[in-house]
């Protein structure tokens, strides 16, 4: 029987990335499921943000252990995002567009690093994982608004976030998101299903990003940091239009979570 080769650093990185996609899928899946329950009037349903999702995980049986696993997975996603940015695994290059994309990977890493830290701290110190996210966001916006040209800075940030939303929609309808999943390992019918689930997921994500950007633009226009809402506020905005828009977007986020789980199972990881 041939000797088994020792795991390489690349193998470890691939494992971290896959854990990261799975953890991200869990977070988005719960986020969407809570909103679906809220839209349909089921007990326990509510509009939430990612930090409140961590609290939901913590409140489950064996919640601290589960939260620790989520924290580990999110940390793996942070590592993968940084590798994408530094090693340019996606081949974005050093053009202005390429550098902007790679900076976006770093920004994503920072955001999920904060979430991983909160989850890890709550898991190991048995403190609450929920709450505080909205206050932190609005405090940051308030500090920006106090600066010279603060309203312009917040407005520019809002337009940038709206741009991210548009980019998600473009990815959804161009199908470019599919290049990260090795769907050749799936039967043809399942390939189509996975593609449609991903399309729905990225569409919902684009809508949420667009609403978040709109909130920032409004905060800039009115010089009012309290208008800078998060995901929970985006869901409430959709609910104010009607239950149907909230339900559709919530189902879309569940779909995105499922797509991330498929990506964890069948990833295409370039550069490693």
Note the pLDDT tens digit of each residue in 107-139. 999 999 999 998 888 888 777 766 655 667 888
Sequence-separated contacts (24+) of 84-88 with Cβ below 8 Å: 84/271, 85/109, 87/271, 88/271
Note the pLDDT tens digit of each residue in 169-180. 999 999 999 999
- For residue 236, what are its two tokens? 């409430």
Helical (H) or strand (E) element with 114:
helix 96-125
pLDDT of the residue at 218: 95
Note the pLDDT tens digit of each residue in 199-246. 999 999 999 999 999 999 999 999 999 999 889 899 999 999 999 999
Note the pLDDT tens digit of each residue in 44-95. 667 777 888 888 888 888 788 999 999 999 999 999 999 999 998 888 888 9
pLDDT of the residue at 56: 84
To the nearest 10°, report the CA torsion of 51, 54, 58, 60.
130
**54 in Cβ contact with 122 (< 8 Å):** yes
| 113 CB burial (10 A radius; 0-12, 13-18, 19+) | middle
């Amino acid at each position: 029987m041939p000797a088994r080769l020792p795991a390489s650093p690349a193998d470890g990185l691939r494992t971290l990335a896959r854990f990261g996609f799975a953890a991200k899928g869990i977070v988005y899946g719960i986020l969407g499921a809570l909103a679906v329950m809220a839209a349909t009037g089921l007990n326990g349903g509510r509009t939430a943000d990612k930090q409140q999702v961590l609290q939901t995980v913590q409140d489950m049986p064996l919640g601290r252990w589960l939260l620790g696993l989520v924290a580990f997975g999110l940390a793996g996603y942070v590592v993968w995002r940084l590798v994408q940015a530094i090693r340019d695994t996606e081949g974005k290059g050093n053009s202005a567009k390429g550098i902007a994309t790679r900076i976006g990977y770093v920004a994503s890493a920072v955001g999920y690093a904060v979430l991983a830290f909160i989850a890890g701290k709550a898991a190991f110190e048995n403190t609450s994982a929920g709450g505080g996210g909205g206050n932190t966001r609005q405090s940051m916006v308030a500090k920006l608004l106090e600066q010279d040209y603060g309203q312009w800075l917040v407005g520019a940030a809002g337009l940038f976030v709206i741009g991210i939303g548009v980019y998600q929609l473009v990815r959804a309808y161009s199908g470019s998101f599919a290049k990260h999943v090795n769907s050749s390992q799936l039967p043809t019918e399942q390939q189509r299903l996975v593609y449609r689930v991903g399309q729905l997921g990225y569409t919902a994500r684009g809508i949420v990003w667009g609403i978040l950007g709109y909130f920032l633009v409004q905060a800039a226009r009115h010089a009012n940091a309290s208008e800078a809402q998060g995901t929970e506020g985006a869901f409430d905005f959709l609910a104010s239009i009607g239950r149907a828009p909230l339900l559709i977007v919530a189902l879309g986020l569940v779909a995105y979570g499922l797509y991330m789980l498929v990506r964890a199972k069948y990833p295409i990881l370039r550069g490693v």
